[in-house]
Structure 1
Amino acid sequence: MKDHRGMLSILEACRCLNVSRAGYYLFCQREPSNLEIENETLAELLKEIFLEHKGRYGARRIKFVLQKEYQLAISRRRITRLLHTQGLYTRGVRRKYRRQKTGCCSVQKNLVYQNFSVKSPHTVWFGYIPTVEGTLYLSTYMDAYSRRVVSYRIDNHMRDELGVESLETALFKEKPKAGLVIHVDQGSQYISHLFLK
């Protein structure tokens, strides 16, 4: 109502908000409650801790700091609410991908050089045509000569077993002669120990 004091009189504003004038004046004169005073003091402390840790501490860590250094027991929800009312949000953490140890997996030489024109069946197979339907992954092996899918496997993960099981099914079903080239991308599931066996 204070913001619109020039546009409306107190009487008109009270009628619009369905509030009595006496109630409005009592509200303006009342002292802040103990909880409001406590929240203001706590909000300043939370902001100090938050900025001290460069915005990386969320409610859980701040709660731990409050317990350890200030002996205060405050709920995470209250901490979160007080941070958010000040516009303070934690920074996201960049996750580092786990890299496989060097030397554990060998990167294979490209024998095909993207030339998929072959003279006879079962000389070049290529695999891993990913499709995503929700969280499904498709691993296929296709004969480069006939363009026929020799084997496929669909699963909700993209671990080593997906490519291995698909390849084992293809080898069992087709029984190709020695010298078969299997052309796949260099994804982690295709250069793992399990696949290279």
Structure 2
Amino acid sequence: MGHRITSVLSALNIARSTYYQWKNWHPSQQETRRNALKMAIKAVYNTNRGIYGYRRIAAFLRFILNTEVGDRLVWELMNEMCLKSRTVRKSYKKPTTTTDTPQKPNLMKNLDDLSGVLTTDITYIQLMNRDWVYLATVYD
């Protein structure tokens, strides 16, 4: 105890300017902005359960929080924080139909005039409440 800082620095072979530079160090504006953006990105990421990717987070920051930020910067900051969006698979199965009757032969390939032939199609459409409706169309 009671040693002068200059003798300690010379014993450690450290320049005085290095010590005073470290003592008076303050983060730059860019570093302060990046740290604030990291906090905002982490908040948006956690609020949305990790589903949002860098593009959606950047859009959220731009339009909701009125922050000027690019997609690339958000991508870099998310990589620094090891944040990756997770994809959520849709959990639905398209309904299927089964039939016990054998397939009928194609009777249209031998017809010369197809004016009296009607064709149909059935499409499955999933509603917002996860119910299914069927759209049947007839083509002339």
TM bucket normalised to smaller:
0.5 to 0.7
Give 2:57's aligned residue.
Answer: 62
3-state DSSP of counterpart to 2:42:
helix
Structure 1 runs not aligned, ≥5 long: 1-8, 110-197
- Give the aligned residue type for 2:81: Q
- Aligned-residue Cα RMSD (Å) equals 3.4
Give 1:78's aligned residue.
Answer: 73
1:47 counterpart (36, 42, 46): 42
Structure 2 runs not aligned, ≥5 long: 1-7, 103-140
2:87 counterpart (61, 84, 92): 92
Give 1:26's aligned residue.
Answer: 21
3-state DSSP of counterpart to 2:64:
helix
In 2, Cα distance between equivalents of 1:38 and 1:55:
23
3-state DSSP of counterpart to 1:45:
helix
Cα deviations by residue, 1:84-136 (Å, 9 ceiling, x for unpaired): 3223221133366874x523x76899xxxxxxxxxxxxxxxxxxxxxxxxxxx
Give 1:130's aligned residue.
Answer: none
In 2, Cα distance between equivalents of 1:24 and 1:39:
26
The CA deviation at 1:34 is 0.5
**Where does 1:1-197 land on structure 2 (aligned, <5 Å)?**
20-23=15-18, 25-94=20-89, 99=94, 101-103=95-97
The CA deviation at 1:25 is 3.6
Q: Aligned residues: percent identity?
A: 24
The CA deviation at 1:79 is 0.8
Paired residues of 1:14 and 1:21 also in contact (CA < 8 A): no
TM-score computed with the length of structure 2 as normaliser: 0.52
In 1, Cα distance between equivalents of 2:100 and 2:19:
76
- Alignment coverage as a number of residue pairs: 95
3-state DSSP of counterpart to 2:69:
coil
